[in-house]
Each structure stands twice: as structure tokens, then as C-alpha cells.
Amino acid sequence: MRLACLLFVTLAALSTPALAVDIDGHLGADEWKGARHITDFRQTQPLTGKPGSLPTEAWILATPKGLAVAFRCVQPPGVPRTHQRVQRDFEDQVDRVNVMVDFNGDGRTGYDFVVSSTGGINDAVVINENKFNKDWDGNWRHAVSEDAEGWTVEILIPWYIAPMHTARDGRRMLGVYLDRVTGSTGERDSWPAASFTLPRFLSEFGKVEVPQYSQSLLAVTPYVSGLYDNVRGRSHFQEGADLLWKPSGQFQLTAALHPDFGQVESDDLVVNFSATETYVRDKRPFFTENQGIFDFSLLDDYSQLVYTRRVGGPSDDGLGAADINAAVKLNGSFGTTSYGVLAADEDGAAGRFFGAARVIHDFGDQSLGMLLTRVDRPWLDREASVLGVDHHWRPTPQLTIATNVVGSDILQSGTHTRDSGGTVIADYEMGDGWRQQWLGMHFGDRLQVNDFGYLERNNFNYGHWEVRKRNTALPAGSAYSSHEWRFRIDVLDNDHGLRLRRQLRLRRNSDLRNGATEMVQLNVNSAGWDDLLTRGNGALFLPPSLDLVYERISPRHGDWAFKLDAEVVSGGLGGNRQLGYDVKFIPTYFVSDAFSVYAGPYYEHLPDWLVWQHDNLIGRYDEHTLQLDAGFDWSIDSRQELRVKLQAIGLDAGVRGGYRVQANGRAVASNEPVDGFGVRNLGLQIRYRYELAPLSYLYVVYGRGGYAMDGYARRTSDVFDRSFALRDDEQLLVKLSYRFDI
């Protein structure tokens, strides 16, 4: 009997492929036996579909510890290599590989894992076929090695990293996409030949069947932080913890107790006098972990039904940012149905409660989802409920259709306000580089989703038709490797039939053979009405206008890289009779592969700038803005980094007169006093980060900033110079967090 058992174990061991891969950046002789071997990498940037110009091989192997992927990237000495060290979530144009995995194989959600040739990493969540969100940071392993003929990458992605559906008959069908980017040319070679520039990307991933494996995880991340306010002379200490429990791929729970939702990364400065809110991304770990299930885009720019910056945002009593008692989030699935629940409770009499529930069912070439949100705001005697239903359909290999319907019910001081909206978008890939898109939107004037969500404006009806043509057959001597031309006409009215805009848009996106990218866009706008400027005190009629934009991003060549943005724009009461402009140029100098310095100006001149004063009175200004963006990035070693970010803004607006908006929409000059003004804004952050272990950090952050609005100074440079004296806030923050995997 013992002999039989020993023989059975021996035979089983011999018949089972190697399941342990040593993630050391070197391809062992036997460790990748049994892996799927991929060599057919095709050019997808430019999107020619031709074999890649440099040989690339990859291996995919499912192991009990996770999904293992290896790349061998041949890059002989004649092809320049990028040895630049990059920080996490880098955007630099460097030699790198991407592994994207759709763990359910249904084209709904993917996870992107990027490794540069110098060992830098980036990770992101992919939703809505081709929308990337880099706010998420996962815990996965990687290693890189380099030799004279090329470089090698090994990656291990744990099975607990993402929620996934139940496997069938012990097997799981994954969607997988692999690519390799050559930094010096920008060429992207992929398997399969899918591109995120097309309407279908996630659903075009290659299918890879693997054995079913399951891993559990219990991770606790306690933290302690201390903040000293040098302006007010006081200190603040806080402690708390994040909990992550993943007993299986079908259920995952995230909780935060007394969370520290303060940012250790500074937001860009924005001076906003418009009637619409500025969208700001969220990097807080609780809200980035497994957040993809709660994505419900209204297909209007950044619009979402769950905008997590609301939680812990400005309090309803106007006394600064709200404190959060606790927050919890769970994700799971049963069969091909995924679900998620999110709840967060703020502290104090003005504390709000945020709740969201999401469910999505996959039907193969269709998916149907629902999202319900609820916000209680006792300080305002307000309860906001929003329900959305979204549907994604791929009726043919060429046609993709996405629709959603949303309704809101607001109970304010005993009175209900209800309205609805919806969107439909259809993309048709016609072949030979041609593509069409049709889009239609309706949002009622009483639809309100911004208690928890983000919608730049309601009260509009919008439609556009767009056709695109991709050209990759450019002469070998051309500086460009590809162009994509776009032609769009759109119609925008408010929900009462008032014409807001008719627009013709021409755009060209280009890739250059030296790795640079370029964009040129012309918008020609008809005469129309602005129904937001006076904040509900009458719509203003405006003459035709235009907008010409140019952008170019050049990656590092030698010791330099740069980014250039330029714009010529008309508008205001004068329409095309006066042109404004803005220019932003930011060069980056690389002192070494690990240390880079950047500094560049932004200058704007708007000779006919309209700013609301009160009721139906507006001011007409001659506006000048001078801004500096500067800083440095130093990757001290593989664990340490030091970053400095400085932004200073000086805006000077000389008044040209005051105007009253009449009932017929015409602006009539007024003798009422309207004053010129200046705005100063400063943001400085010095941040040191030490990685103690994966997702465990010590931060030391110094920040200083301020905002001031003064009288007209006549010289923009004087306003800009005085911005450096601002000191509304000056703080030193020390934060220590350590993740324990139990």
C-alpha cells in the first residue's frame, strides 16, 4: 500500500508542469515549461498590424501563486535603450512592457501591469473598453534583467488581486493582452493586435484558458500621522487602519477605521471663475482598491455617478473638510453577476452618509447593470437618491453600442424634486482605417447627481456625428509614422430648446518616428447662448467663435524632453474680432537617469474675458495670466524618492466695462461699478517617500500655499512675483503606514 501511494505521488509530480516560477528577471531552463509561448507580436502603434520591428517573446503560466508572465525583448546595441529611472505610475516614454488581464474574460474590467526596463512600475484599471484609471495601486511582483542583446521581465500577479467570477469545471478563461514599447521610437508591438485607440479593446483580448486557482488574503494596514501647522502653531496626530479581506476571488471586503483621507500628493492649482466645478482625481487607497465595479460613466467627459472626492470633501457647514468615522466596501460575484456595496459615514452634526450599491450581469455579447446611490445630508435637510441603469452591447464584430438611463429623487425640506437623463453612443469600425461614431445625450434641468456623483452641467441635449480615418501608410522618409484624422459636427441645446452651440471640429492625432506625439484641433463655433454665466439670471447671446489648439510631447532625447501646448481662441462679446492665446512650454533636463529637473512658463491673454459679478451683471476684462510649473524628481534608489513640485500663478484682469444681460439675451453697457482684480495662487510641496515593503511607506511632506484676490495691478509680472509671498498654509506631515499580510 505504501509503495502504491509513493508511486502515485511520484507519477503525479512527473506529470504536473512546473508550478513555481522564480521571479528574478532570468528565464530558467525549466521553470517556464508548460507555459503558453507567444511570438506573434504585431505593430499597434502605429496601427499597421505588421510584425514588430524587434523580436519579442512572451510566456504565460498559471501557478498556484498567481499568473506568471515573462517577456524577452531583443534590443541590439544599434537600437537606443532608455535607462531612465521612473517612479510609480510613470507616464514617461521609456522601454517597457504591459500585461493586461481581464480575469473574467468578459470585456468588462481589465487590470494593467507595466514594467519599465529599469524596474519602474505602473498599474491601472481598464473599464469601458479603453478607459484607464491609474489611481489604483496593486501588490504584485516583478523583476528585470538586461544583457547585450536585450532585456527580460518576469511578473507574478496574485489571484487575489482582483474579484473574479466562479470558474467552470476547474478551468478559468482569461482575457490577456501583452505589449512591448520601444521608448526611442514609440513603437508598440502587441499580442493580440488590439489597440486602446479603437472602440473595442478589452473585449479583443486574447483568450487564455488556465486551471482554477484561488488565493485568500487578509491585510491590515495601520497608520499613524503627525501634522504640524506652522501658520497656526498647532499639531494634529491621527491613527487608524485599513483592512482588506479577500477570502476568495468571489468576495472581497475593504474597510477603513478613522481613515486618514488627507492627500500626500498635491493637486494641480486651478483658478476657476466659471459656473462649473473642476474635476479632481482621487488617489486615496480605500477608494482605488477594487473601485472599477462602481464605474458608471454618463459618457460626458469626467461624469460619474460615484465621484469619491465628495466623501471627506468640504463639509456642509462650511467649516473645512469633513472627518470620516468609517468606510466599508465589498465586492463579489455569483455566476456571471458581479456586485459591489460602498458606505462611508462622516463625523459631526454636518456629517453626511454616502451609500452605493452596484450589480452587473454579463450575457456574453451584452451586459446589463444597475447602480443606486444615496446621500443623507442632515445639515441641509436633504436626502439624495440616484438610480442608473447601463447596457453595453456588441451586436456585430464592427458595431459597439453603450446606453444608460439615470434618474434622481431629491428630498429637500419635505419637497421632492425628480428628473431623468440618458445617453447612447454607437461606434462603427468600417475597416481600412475608417470609423464612425454617433452620440446622443439628454439631461433634464432638474436632474441632480452631484451629491455623490459628478456632472459638469445638467439641462442639456447634445448630439454629434464623428468620422475618423487612420493613415499608417506614410513614406519611409516622413517624420511621422501615423495620422488619425477626425471630423465632427455637434449640436448642443438646453432642455428648453435654447441653442447653446453648433460646432465643427477638425482634429489630427499623430505619432512621430522619434517617439513624440502631436495633436492639432480646430473648433469652429456658431453663435449661441450661454445659460450658465449669470447663474440663473438670464442667458447671454454670444457671437461665433473659434479655438485652435496645438500640443506636442517629445520624449527624452539625450538630456532633454519637452511638452508644448499652444492655443489661439476667440470669444466673449466681440466674438472673432479679437483673438486671445495661451502658450505652455515645459522642458525637462535629465542630470542623470535618476534625477530630472523641469521648469516652464504658461502665459495666457484673453482680451474679452467675461466674469459674473452678481444677478445679471457681468464684467468684461482684459486678462493676463503668468504661471510657473517647476520641480524635480529624484529616484534615490529602488526604495527612496524625493519630489519637489512648485506652481505659482499671477492673474491680472483690467476691467473693460460692466454689462447687464437683458431679457432678450443682449449685453447692454452699464455704469455700475465693476472693478479690475488680480489673483495670486501658490502651491509648493516637497515630498520624501521611503518604501518599507510593498504598499508600506514612510512619507515626510512639507507643503506651503495660499490664495489671494487683490485689486488690479496693471503688471501681471508684479502679481506673479507677489504670489511667492503667500503663506495661508505651511505644514509638515509625517505619515507611517505598514501593511501586514496575514
Position 72 in a domain: yes
Percent of the chain past pLDDT 70, that is, above it, reads: 96
What's the domain range around 211? 19-215
Cell of 92: 514617461
For residue range 69-122, what is the model confidence (pLDDT) as tens digits? 999 999 999 899 999 999 888 888 999 999 999 999 988 889 999 999 999 999
Please provide the average confidence, as pLDDT, over all residues in the chain. 92
Residue 8 has pLDDT above 90, yes or no: no
Residue 284 pLDDT class (50, 70, 90 cuts) = confident
Cβ(277)–Cβ(111) below 8 Å: no
Q: What is the DSSP letter of 188?
A: E
Is the C-alpha dihedral spanning 134, 139, 141, 145 positive or negative? positive
CA distances from 411 to 93, 306, 315, 543 (A): 50, 19, 19, 40
For residue 263, the model assigns a pLDDT of: 59
| Contacts of residue 573, Cβ cutoff 8 Å, sequence gap at least 6 | 542, 543, 608, 610, 620, 659, 667
| Residue 3 pLDDT grade (very low, low, confident, very high; cuts 50, 70, 90) | very low
Question: Which residues lie across from 374 on neighbouring strands?
Answer: 355, 385
DSSP conformational letter for 308? G
Q: What is the DSSP string of 589-616?
A: EESSSSEEEEEEEEEEEEEEEEEEEETT
Residue 259, pLDDT score: 73
Read off the CATH number of the domain in which 80 is found.
2.60.40.1190
Please measure the distance between the N-terminal and C-terminal CA atoms of the chain and give it in whole angstroms.
38
Looking at residue 667, its pLDDT comes to 96
Distance CA 654, CA 676 (A): 5
Q: C-alpha angle 405/340/360, rounded to 5°? A: 45
Percent of the chain with pLDDT over 90: 78
Report yes or no on 463 lying in a domain: no
3-state SS string over 472-521? CCCCCCCCEEEEEEEEEEEEEECCCCCEEEEEEEEEEEEEECCCCEEEEE
Nearest-angstrom CA–CA distance, 668 and 2: 101
Query: Does 536 fall in a domain?
Result: no
Beta-sheet pairing, 434-443 with 517-525: unpaired
What is the pLDDT confidence band of residue 16, given thresholds at 50, 70 and 90?
very low
Is pLDDT above 80 for 15? no
pLDDT (mean) for 293-301 = 84
Would you place residue 233 in the very low, low, confident or very high pLDDT band (cuts 50, 70, 90)? very high
pLDDT higher for 130 or 679?
679
Domain-located, residue 397: no
Q: What is the pTM (predicted TM-score) of this model?
A: 0.88
Backbone angles phi, psi at 675, to 5 degrees: -100, 145
Confidence (pLDDT) at 262: 55
pLDDT tens, residue by residue, 568-622: 999 999 999 999 999 999 999 999 999 999 999 999 999 999 999 999 999 999 9
pLDDT at 13: 35
Whether 130 maps to a domain, the answer reads yes
User: Residue 695's pLDDT is what?
Assistant: 87
pLDDT digits (tens, 9 = 90+) for 317-335: 998 888 888 999 998 888 8
**Beta pairing class for 480-493 and 382-393:** unpaired
Under the banding of pLDDT at 50, 70 and 90, the label for residue 260 is low
193 lies in a domain?
Answer: yes
Q: Residue 735 pLDDT more than 70?
A: yes
> Residue 142's pLDDT is what?
96
What does the alpha-carbon distance between residue 546 and residue 370 come to, in Å, rounded to a whole number? 40
Residue 471 lies in a domain: no
Establish if 126 belongs to a structural domain: yes
User: In the chain, how many domains are there?
Assistant: 1
Split at pLDDT 50, 70, 90, the class of 10 is very low
Question: Would you state the pLDDT for residue 11?
Answer: 33
Q: In this predicted model, what pLDDT tens digit does every residue of 193-231 receive, in sequence order?
A: 999 999 899 999 999 999 999 889 999 999 999 999 999
Q: What is the mean pLDDT of residues 703-721?
A: 94
Q: For cell 511638452, what's the residue?
A: 563
The single-letter code of the amino acid at 249 is G
pLDDT of residue 6: 35
Closest CA to 330 of 389, 218, 255, 385: 255
